């Protein structure tokens, strides 16, 4: 007789991933599903989320729910988490990954651009955390991962508003980690360097618009780290899965760079 045991680390856990329609968030959702978690996929592009959800269910035999949510809209966040809870129960894992990067010098940063960068990248994550934390504390288990950036750890020109928001996530992670440490809930940030997604492709396009060839522009980003290659979404996802593992309970309040040595 063959006895098969499910050795996946997140079976019976429900994970919410924001910005799961593509890029790093899609890779994180895939990696969490591979570990057996049921998934709520949030973002604005419901068609893309629905396709991803169906693919995750087919590949990993997990439940996956697409939910429309603009994280910069507090009412939309409240509605999305209500829908998620109703369908899949309270969340055990939150990966606040939704983000947007706009490039401008500090002088050219309008108040509207500043407000938008903070609303999507920082306040959006905070609203999602508030939506899940009470149930995590009551359950005495939770894993919160905030997707920050190396821009929170070092200075890149033309990123003031985005960098301020991403640095804010580190403060949020540390303060929350201290607040909920005795409740079995960990709160960490991951800080990817330039990662092979639409966001990095937009950064390459900006350099091309400023006069570089596409090859030069790509090489400029690759050479920011000593590996001379962009980070992959799967590398970020693997770090997130590690932070979400039941065995990672002593890792909290950290900013983990996934940046191929760009920051040391
Ligand atoms: N790629 C990099 O080089 C890099 C480096 C460091 C950190 N990061 C961070 O990693 C995270 C993921 O970025 P990525 O590279 O995967 O970028 P991406 O390919 O542009 O994807 C961004 C994701 O965020 C979602 N999103 C954007 N605005 C949203 C909003 N207002 N509400 C809900 N969802 C929203 C998008 O989904 P919808 O369009 O469906 O809403 C999409 O799924 C971001 O927080 C980013 O700042 C990226």
What is the token pair recorded at 229? 């290659």
Q: Is residue 210 part of a domain?
A: no
Catalytic residue numbers read 162
Domain count within the chain: 1
Q: In which domain, by residue range, is 152 found?
A: 14-193+233-253
Q: Evaluate: CB of 83 within 6 angstroms of ligand 1.
A: no
Give the pLDDT confidence of 209-238 residue by residue, as tens digits: 999 999 999 999 999 999 999 999 999 999
For a substitution probing ligand 1, which of 99, 164, 203 has the most ligand atoms within 8 Å of its CB? 99
| Phi, psi angles (nearest 5°) of residue 70 | -95, 110
CA nearest ligand 1 atom 23, residue: 19
Q: Is residue 209 part of a domain?
A: no
Is the pLDDT assigned to residue 1 strictly greater than 70?
A: no
Q: Is residue 70 part of a domain?
A: yes
Can you tell me which atom of ligand 1 is nearest the CA of 148?
A: 7
Length of the chain: 264
Q: Evaluate: CB of 43 within 6 angstroms of ligand 1.
A: yes
Give the pLDDT confidence of 123-137 residue by residue, as tens digits: 999 999 999 999 999
CA nearest ligand 1 atom 8, residue: 149
For residue 134, give the CATH number of its domain: 3.40.50.720
Q: Is residue 215 part of a domain?
A: no
pLDDT of residue 7: 85
Q: Is residue 69 part of a domain?
A: yes
């Amino acid at each position: 007789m063959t006895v098969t045991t499910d050795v996946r680390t997140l079976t019976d856990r429900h994970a919410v991933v924001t910005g799961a329609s593509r890029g790093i968030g899609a890779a994180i959702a895939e990696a969490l599903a591979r570990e057996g978690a049921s998934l709520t996929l949030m973002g604005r592009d419901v068609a893309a989320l629905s396709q991803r959800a169906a693919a995750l269910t087919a590949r990993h035999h997990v439940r996956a729910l697409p939910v429309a949510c603009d994280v910069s809209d507090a009412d939309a966040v409240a509605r999305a988490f209500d829908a998620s809870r109703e369908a899949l129960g309270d969340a055990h894992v939150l990966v606040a990954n939704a983000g947007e990067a706009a490039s401008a010098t500090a002088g050219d940063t309008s108040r509207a651009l500043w407000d938008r960068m903070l609303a999507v990248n920082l306040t959006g994550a905070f609203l999602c955390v508030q939506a899940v934390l009470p149930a995590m504390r009551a359950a005495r288990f939770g894993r919160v991962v905030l997707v920050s950036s190396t821009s929170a750890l070092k200075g890149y020109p033309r990123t003031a508003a985005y960098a301020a928001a991403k640095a804010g996530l580190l403060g949020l992670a540390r303060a929350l980690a201290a607040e909920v440490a005795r409740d079995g809930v960990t709160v960490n940030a991951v800080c990817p360097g330039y990662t092979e997604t639409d966001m990095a492709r937009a950064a390459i396009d900006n350099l091309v618009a400023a006069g570089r060839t596409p090859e030069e522009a790509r090489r400029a980003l690759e050479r920011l780290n000593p590996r001379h290659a962009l980070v992959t979404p799967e590398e970020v996802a693997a770090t997130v899965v590690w932070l979400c593992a039941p065995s990672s309970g002593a890792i909290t309040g950290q900013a983990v760079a996934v940046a191929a040595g760009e920051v040391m």
